[in-house]
Chain A
Amino acid sequence: MSDSVSAIHDEEYHARGSDWSFADLEYYEREINRIAGEFGLDIYPNQIEIITSEQMMDAYSSIGMPVGYSHWSFGKQFLSVEQAYRRGQMGLAYELVINSDPCIAYLMEENTLMMQILVMAHACHGHNSFFKGNYLFRAWTDASAIVDYLVFARRYVAECEERHGVDAVEQLLDACHALQNHGVDRYKRPSPISAEEESRRQQEREAYLQQQLNTLWSTIPQAPREQRAPAGDDPLGLRDRPRYPAEPQENLLYFIEKNAPLLAPWQREIVRIVRKLAQYFYPQRQTQVMNEGWATFWHYQIMHRLYDDKLIDEGVMLEFLQSHTAVVAQPPFDSPYYSGLNPYALGFAMFSDIRRICETPTEEDRRWFPDTAGSDWLETVHFAMQNFKDESFIQQFLSPQVMRDLHLFAIVDDDQDDMIEIDAIHDERGYRRVREALSAQYALGQREPDIQVWAADVHGDRSLTLRHQRRDRRELDASLAPVLRYLHQLWGFPVHLESVEDDEVVERHSWPEA
């Protein structure tokens, strides 16, 4: 009797216990794929790789990339992960996924079967569809070319190390890494990267660039006469020239690559490599909440569907719920476990809330989201995923309900005031201001200082001047000095940084120090 019961059980549920085999994985991947298809998730093909925990640590230290050039900072990253993991201070992520086509996802062999199913739903369908669908990724990254480009970068850097010595390359990479957050185009779509193209054109570029530079630094451009009248001691207007560059440049590394007077062609190429990779990661930095929220939202839907379809049993479901709860836990600000807002929690809450607003809107929802309330939820979440980044997503979709659930509140911390003021809380008067503040908190433009190339003194001492647009008296951290030193190494002549607030230069830093 008991035999037949367990036989039925076996037939009903594919999952038994926590061990997994490749057959299990393939079975569930097929099922998840079917369900995800019904939900309209559009994905790149999946390349799912099973790896060990050691390999996972390797993957960590190379920002998840399957290949990368060698640099000590990756070694440092590896050592700290290894240390934390060995002492049990930190568990490794169950999964790592790369924005590439095919989409590469790493699964750890230690994971239980439940975890593998969860990870496939989360990474191989959640993140994957986000990479393919979100406008930032579509516009700014080229999923099909990245792996080839990494291979090219690795080989090129290794060649340079051979030709010019490890130290010279390391020094250069240090300097570039210090500026990589300011090595991205924020408004202009970068040209797509392609390894083949890169290799083919690289030599051509070397020659061309050097020639361009020579022109820039050796000839004296004619100042448009009507622009400035001769004045003072300079009747011929020799010193009175338009600023170079004519417009401030946001991409410091691009400016260096194209204009630094003394860099050798191979050095420019390495600057370019760092810049290209920074650009590739730029969308990820702007869509943390959305990306994780989207993936979490979908693994939750998919796991429930698997359960409803009787493909996983109660045991697996309970294990899943426990793990899911831990992922989306948001400790309050005064908890010892608090370490900022949990992007999984916020993102999951928001996507789930969009579905709620669509399906069972309240009076409040109709007031706040007249267009969304009552619409088709599947269409709406896809629309939200495709067309926003964290900043605008929060601005558009953070509902009073979510603010109340998370008990969000905004404080103003002003160093001219010895008290902290509660600016707004989750009440009728505060919703908009909390939302505004949270949106700003996720805007990269606010999180990172706004620093642009202001002027390169091409006719005088060749010094380079950067401008920092300061807001709310927020000064730069002391790490500024070493970064300027790195910039100076790249530029080869004095560099200055001016902090400007309300059109007034409030601070000046220079390297070498005056």
Chain B
Amino acid sequence: MSYFIDRRRNARHKSAVNRQRFIRRYRKHIKRSVEEAINRRSITDIERGEKVSIPGRDISEPVFRHGNSGRRTIVSPGNREFVEGDRLRRPGGRGGGSGSGEGNASRQGEGVDEFAFTLSREEFLGFIFDGLELPHLVRKQLAEVEEQRPVRAGVSRQGVPARMNIVRSMREAQARRIAMRAPIKRALLEAQQALEEEERKDPVLRNPQCIRELKEEIARLERRLAAVPFIDTYDLRYNNLIDQPQPSNRAVMFCVMDVSGSMTQNHKDIAKRFFLLLYLFLEREYERVELVFIRHHTAAREVDEEEFFYSRETGGTIVSSALDLLSQVIAERYPPAQWNLYVAQASDGDNWDDDSIRCRELLEQTLMPQLQYYAYVEITPHAHQALWEEYERVQARFEERFAMRRIVEPGDIYPVFRELFRSREEGSGA
């Protein structure tokens, strides 16, 4: 009458489609929530998921129902002191310890409550970086260092067990079995027929010798038949992979940050947040993006990620030191013919006076011709200084590929970031 089924191994996330439908429908709301969240949260813990709220009225599913007007009779449990005919003051609003009447009126009301739910980390990052891309990314054909990608190329007789093609192997085995067994079977059949014929003869006419031989023959053939292996190493087939050279869109991002004494802790935090955002974006979007971290005060140094984001220094500022190091690294490791080169620089705009001119020259003459895109963010509430002015001249010359923005408070980081890395199609539409 009853039977049990263990469904625990069945697919989970049967509602995944519905969940996506929901997120798709409320894209706008969620995006707004995500933007607020980024500005509110420390960027270092941005990698968690995010709780998102959508106003209840935007999300309710309306149906015809009664409002609260008119004359209603309501039955409730738990009477203690009331007697018939008592008149009571109507409890104000929903509070006041009286639940009477609410059973009906607000049971199905989704009301004005916020609808809150949690986005997964993936979904959250997806919203953060939605519509962003590295500008001017081009595929660069690589002459020497060719990128290899394994592609499927039929089947072969050699390979590792993990890549065994079971269907093909079984087919080969079956073909071999048929081929090897057919002659034996035929001989066996003949022998059996001969034996039958012999046995059907009158006992006087039988040839015992012949019968014995035939029986031996049959036994021998049956042994041979049984000896044909079900599967043989000879049958095994493997999926074959060969390496194919690939045109590559390799890119390298240089993150340049001023860590001099004039950068207050606040400035540095903003700069770090900007770079962290950039870092997350690149990590997520591009498989083959290399990152180079350069920090500088009076002298520049290439550092690893950890040190770039988390250690502190003081001192004066010579921006050109970083640019020198930059062009040196490019020359040594990232020939522009093979790499898309991007630079993002953050600074408070402070620099030795003479140095700003040198920076412009460096940029105009050596760097910009090699670079895909240069983004400069200046973190300062004050008036711009020489560096900004010189950079403006660079921008005038390389309008397409040189961008500069100012950030005053943490709240500006995300909008500026979006503006700098907005996908071009989206950008031209706006």
Contacts and interface: CB of A to CB of B under 8 A. Distances in A.
Contacts of B70: 414-415, 470-475
A341 B71 contact: no
Interface in A184-242: none
A448 interface: yes
Interface stretch (B5-13, B156-164, B316-324): B5-13
Contacts of A437: 73-75
Given A181-B63, A407-B77, A334 B98 contact: yes
Contacts of A48: 2-5
Nearest to A57: B15
Contact of B7 (A45, A55, A341, A471): A55
B115 interface: yes
A76 B115 contact: yes
Contact of A75 (B1, B2, B22, B86): B22
Nearest to A447: B104
A33 to B, nearest CB: 6
Interface string A414-458: 111011111111110110001001101100000111010000000
Contacts of B107: 340
A407 B78 contact: yes
A114 interface: no
A363 to B, nearest CB: 23
A29 interface: yes
A423 B73 contact: yes
B303 interface: no
B23 A75 contact: yes
Interface stretch (B54-62, B225-233, B247-255, B271-279): B54-62
A177 interface: yes
Q: Identify the interface centre among B70, B74, B77: most chain A CB within 10 Å of its CB.
A: B77
A170 B25 contact: yes
Nearest to A30: B2
A434 B75 contact: yes
A264 to B, nearest CB: 22
A124 interface: yes
Contact of B62 (A74, A334, A423, A483): A483
Given A55-B7, A421-B87, A341 B75 contact: yes
B82 interface: yes
Contacts of A473: 69-71
Given A70-B21, A75-B21, A408-B75, A451 B101 contact: no
B103 interface: yes
Given A74-B15, A78-B19, A46 B3 contact: yes
B329 to A, nearest CB: 47
Contact of A422 (B60, B86, B101, B117): B86
Interface in A49-103: 49-52, 54-55, 57-58, 61-62, 70-76, 78-80, 82-83, 86
Given A75-B20, A422-B83, A477-B66, A411 B100 contact: yes
B58 to A, nearest CB: 11
Interface stretch (A301-309, A325-333, A384-392): A325-333
A479 interface: yes
B65 interface: yes
A323 interface: no
B88 A422 contact: yes
A86 B118 contact: yes
Contacts of A420: 87-90, 100
A45 B79 contact: no
B102 interface: yes
Contacts of B311: none
B84 A422 contact: yes
Contacts of A448: 64-66
B79 A408 contact: yes
Given A72-B24, A181-B64, A438-B75, A55 B2 contact: no
Given A178-B63, A483-B62, A334 B116 contact: no
Q: Identify the interface centre among B18, B72, B83, B87: most chain A CB within 10 Å of its CB.
A: B18
B80 interface: yes
A78 B83 CA distance: 45
Nearest to A334: B97
A448 B76 CA distance: 19
A52 B13 CA distance: 11
A480 to B, nearest CB: 7
Interface string A332-347: 1111101111000000
Interface in A454-488: 468, 470-480, 482-483, 486
A340 B103 contact: yes
A48 B62 CA distance: 35
A50 B4 contact: yes
Contacts of B85: 421-422
Given A448-B64, A486-B62, A54 B69 contact: no
B99 interface: yes
A58 B3 contact: no
Q: Identify the interface centre among A55, A80, A124, A482: most chain B CB within 10 Å of its CB.
A: A55
Nearest to B4: A48
Interface string B260-286: 000000000000000000000000000
A51 B8 contact: yes
Given A335-B99, A411-B100, A419-B87, A46 B1 contact: yes
Nearest to B22: A75
B396 interface: no
B373 to A, nearest CB: 36
A421 B86 contact: yes
Contacts of B2: 29, 33, 45-48, 124
Contacts of B90: 413, 418-420
B64 A472 contact: no
Contacts of B4: 22, 25-26, 29, 48-50
Given A50-B6, A182-B64, A473-B69, A79 B77 contact: no
B40 interface: no
A109 interface: yes
A409 interface: yes
Given A26-B4, A45-B1, A437-B75, A78 B86 contact: no
Contacts of A426: 79
Interface string A107-140: 0010000000000000010000000000000000
Nearest to A67: B14
A434 B98 CA distance: 19
Nearest to B90: A420
A406 interface: yes
A274 to B, nearest CB: 13
Q: Identify the interface centre among B62, B102, B115: most chain A CB within 10 Å of its CB.
A: B62
A413 B67 CA distance: 13
Interface in B77-131: 77-80, 82-90, 97-104, 107, 109, 115-118
B14 to A, nearest CB: 4
A306 B73 CA distance: 43
Contacts of B8: 50-52, 55, 109
A410 interface: yes
A412 interface: yes
A441 B71 CA distance: 13
Nearest to B118: A83
B88 A413 contact: no
A406 B77 contact: yes
Given A75-B22, A341-B103, 16 more contacts: A54-B12, A58-B12, A70-B21, A71-B21, A74-B18, A80-B115, A334-B78, A341-B77, A411-B76, A413-B100, A420-B87, A425-B79, A447-B66, A448-B66, A473-B70, A474-B72
10 contacts: A25-B4, A71-B18, A72-B22, A82-B117, A109-B8, A333-B100, A414-B71, A423-B84, A448-B66, A472-B71
Closest 3 CB pairs of A and B: A332-B78, A340-B103, A75-B22
Interface of A: 22, 25-26, 29, 33, 43, 45-52, 54-55, 57-58, 61-62, 70-76, 78-80, 82-83, 86, 106, 109, 124, 166, 170, 174, 177-182, 330-336, 338-341, 406-416, 418-427, 429-430, 434, 437-438, 440-441, 447-449, 451, 468, 470-480, 482-483, 486
